[in-house]
A = this chain, B = another copy of it.
Amino acid sequence: MDLTALRTAHPEHWGKATAIRALTLDAVHAANSGHSGMPMGMADVATVLYEKHLKFDASAPEWPDRDRFILSAGHGSMLLYSLLYLTGDAEITLDQIRNFRQMGAKTAGHPENFLARAIETTTGPLGQGIANSVGFAIAEEVQRAQFGKKIVDHHTYVIAGDGCLMEGISQEAITLAGRLRLGKLIVFWDNNNITIDGPVDISDATDQPARFRAAGWQVIEIDGHNPEEIDAAITKAKTSKKPSMIACKTHIALGHAAQDTSKGHGALTNPEQLIAAKEAYGWSTGPFEVPADIKSAWEAIGSRGASDHAEWKTRLAELSERKQGDFNRIQSGEAPKRLQATIRALKKQISESQPKLATRASSERVLEVVNPIMPETLGGSADLTGSNNTKTGDLGVFLPENRKGRYIHYGIREHGMAAAMNGMALHGGVRPYGGTFMCFTDYARPAMRLAALMQVPSVFVMTHDSIGLGEDGPTHQPVEHLAISRATPNTWVFRPADTVETAEAWELALTSQKTPSVMSLTRQGLPTVRTKHSQKNLTAQGAYILAEAEAKRQVILIATGSEVSVALAARDTLEAEGIGTRVVSMPCMELFEAQDETYRRRVLPAGPVRIGIEAAVRQGWDRWLLGERGRANKAGFIGMDSFGASAPAEELFEKFGITAEATVAKAKSLLG
């Protein structure tokens, strides 16, 4: 590249873009790790975007109507940190830049949304950002339909690299965005033809523009170092009814000895080459030093949106008080006050009528009362609507012709769905839930982990949660998926036993601010086990005594979900034989773990035989069976230790020995 020509053609632009490149070189050099090349390659695009287009107010990073900027190529985190520091973000200071990738810094190796308010999402696992962005764009459309264009009217911009576009999730994201005609979604493709292993050609020969067009996108191809082309492309993209992909031909590590090489993708730490690159840029200040005129030009960009922001506040204040209240409540993530009463009323009704329902149907019953009072819920399913019971009558379908629709047909895209849900939750103003089969937790897994890491309360509705699924067989029967979700930090895994517990679980999930929930729900019908109404949300305690021993307490059966009724049946038999048996329902291990020891000891006292019953692998159970005052020679587990099989459900429970009879036999043998 002829840097002099670039510099001469647009000197002011060049100074601003060079600040990004220089800060990146310095930070990576100081950290002795990181990714230099991407921020250096995309500095021009980012500069034009921030200077001319991005609606934001650096002093108010949480302004709800800001444009969102998603760095899907999260390894290029110094691009984002540079932009935030330069525009005057209060959190990403120069000190933070100097401490790039160090303990306690907000400038982590990859952008972490929970470290600074201006970081929209956590990226690094490739493809997640572009898939989040679909959720951001959907949330914007839905909120705009609800509150009007004067309050909600912003774009979602994304920078995605070759890695993002090679990941399968990107296909799910772009085809969903194309179908839904998310015109306010604009993706810049950093087309630098370099990945870690070498040129992209080594592993890929995809015609990306053709691929995006095939998915219903507008595609604009530009020189990613020409500010005029960048500006024109963004201007054009903003008027499109289709989502836009701007293919930016760039040079990774522009101006450095490693330019256009896969070395340039990584950490450029050689001091001589660093100096040479800065010289080539015409950048003569010391490390981390941005000339005052350039810094103030950037700060002007950072405050450019302040007046817009002020006008927006005025417009918000002009809404009716009720509308304002709704907007602010939803934005804060608070559930409406009447949620509690609604849930209690349903619980009461269920405890009285005692229906036999699959918990997936219980979940629908809950959504039927919740969705009408929570306009922020945004439901969906990965093409299993009738099976996941996720759609209630009042939700219209979200489509280009119906932006008020609150139900999304995600298609057969579990991963894209989960990542889009995270994006919605991060955007704010909506509360997403989405369904698939529990077994396909596997497909959604990378995004489910990120929900937990990012501290967003997405709700994953996972039905058909055991061999109870029946004939579809082992490919569709989860056995390890409860353990997988429970192994993940900051995740609530609910496995309710009946409609009452399902309602309680939903109440917790919908009031959660920082923890995602996994709803593990049955395909098969279950009796109501909470036949006595309690106002209190017992599921909030994680586990509780559902049925106390009548005879002298010798056995405690601990069960979840569909196995709670198995435990109750086993208790009947044992009690009939004079063996006092307590049944503990344990719908959420994580919440039980969070209780104080006094309560845990009350539920699980030392002494009796303990048997865990769950149609899944034992992993995760030993802490309740052997720990918490338990003893190995008095503990047993009734569950799965292999994959399932294809046959009718009842036969499978027999075959795998998950029955009241087997429980009784195990209890007796442990009693000796």
Contact = CB atoms under 8 A, between A and B. Distances in A.
Given A167-B172, A413-B166, A473-B108, A647 B453 contact: no
Interface in A153-171: 162-163, 166-171
B641 A632 contact: no
A321 interface: no
Contacts of A415: 168
B475 A412 contact: no
A473 to B, nearest CB: 4
B617 A619 contact: no
Given A168-B172, A446-B442, A489-B642, A411 B204 contact: yes
Interface string A620-653: 1011001111111000000001110111100110
Given A125-B439, A489-B480, A411 B195 contact: yes
A477 to B, nearest CB: 10
Contacts of A387: 196
Contact of A647 (B103, B122, B487, B623): B103
B205 A179 contact: yes
A617 B564 CA distance: 27
A31 B646 CA distance: 11
Given A167-B168, A195-B383, A211 B215 contact: yes
Given A470-B33, A617-B489, A168 B166 contact: no
A416 B166 CA distance: 10
A176 B202 CA distance: 10
A14 to B, nearest CB: 30
Most buried by B among A162, A204, A415, A488: A204
Contact of A619 (B213, B619, B630): B619
A564 B229 CA distance: 57
Contacts of A646: 101-102, 105, 108-110, 112
A207 B215 CA distance: 6
Interface of A: 31, 33-34, 74, 101-105, 108-110, 112, 122-127, 162-163, 166-172, 175-176, 178-179, 195-198, 201-208, 210-211, 213-216, 381, 383-387, 397, 409-413, 415-416, 439-440, 442-443, 445-446, 449-450, 452-453, 470-476, 479-480, 483-484, 486-490, 617-620, 622-623, 626-632, 641-643, 645-648, 651-652, 655
A471 B34 contact: yes
Given A167-B443, A476-B110, A622-B622, A175 B125 contact: no
A33 B31 CA distance: 59
Contacts of A125: 439-440, 442-443, 475-476
Given A175-B204, A480-B488, A483-B487, A168 B632 contact: no
Given A110-B472, A168-B172, A162 B412 contact: yes
Contact of A197 (B213, B384, B476): B384
A256 to B, nearest CB: 19
Contact of A124 (B476, B483, B651, B655): B476
Contacts of A490: 642-643
Contacts of A416: 168
Nearest to A208: B214
Determine chain A's interface SS by DSSP, over half rule: loop
A500 to B, nearest CB: 28
Contacts of A171: 168, 170-171
Nearest to A399: B202
**Lowest 5 CB-CB distances: which A-B pairs, in order?**
A168-B168, A203-B411, A622-B622, A626-B626, A108-B646
Contact of A196 (B179, B384, B439, B486): B384
A473 B198 contact: no
Please tell me how many copies of the chain the complex holds. 2
Contact of A109 (B172, B198, B473): B473
A608 to B, nearest CB: 16
Most buried by B among A415, A618, A631, A652: A415
Contacts of A487: 480, 483-484, 487, 617, 619-620
Nearest to A265: B383
A494 to B, nearest CB: 18
Nearest to A178: B205
A471 B203 contact: no
28 contacts: A103-B655, A105-B646, A163-B383, A166-B383, A168-B170, A176-B203, A176-B204, A196-B384, A196-B386, A196-B387, A197-B386, A203-B411, A203-B412, A206-B214, A442-B445, A442-B449, A449-B480, A452-B643, A453-B643, A480-B487, A480-B488, A484-B484, A484-B487, A487-B619, A489-B643, A490-B643, A626-B630, A628-B632
B619 A475 contact: no
Contacts of A195: 383, 411-412
Contact of A471 (B101, B172, B383, B472): B101
Nearest to A416: B168
Contact of A486 (B381, B486, B619): B619
A634 B642 CA distance: 31
A122 B630 contact: no
A178 B614 CA distance: 45
A475 B411 contact: no
